[in-house]
Amino acid sequence: MVSGLGLLQSSPALAHYPLMVCEADSQTIRCEVGFTDGSKAVGKSVRLIDYDENVLQSQKADRFSKVEFKRPSGDFYLQFDSGHEFPVEVDVAEL
| CATH code, domain with 37 | 2.60.40.10
Task: Report yes or no on 9 lying in a domain.
Answer: no
Domain contains 2: no
In a domain, 3, yes or no: no
Per-residue pLDDT band at 16 (split at 50, 70, 90): confident
**pLDDT tens-digit map of 32-64:** 999 999 999 999 999 999 999 999 999 999 999
**C-beta separation of 89 from 76 below 8 A:** no
Residue 38 lies in domain: 15-94
Examine residue 79 and state whether it is found in any structural domain, yes or no: yes
68: left (phi over 0), alpha (psi -120 to 50) or beta: beta
Q: What count of residues does the chain have? A: 95
Please check whether residue 37 lies inside any domain of the structure.
Answer: yes
What is the tally of structural domains in the chain? 1
In a domain, 10, yes or no: no
Does 22 reside within a domain? Answer: yes
Query: HSE of 48 in the Cβ direction (CA atoms, 13 Å)?
Result: 22
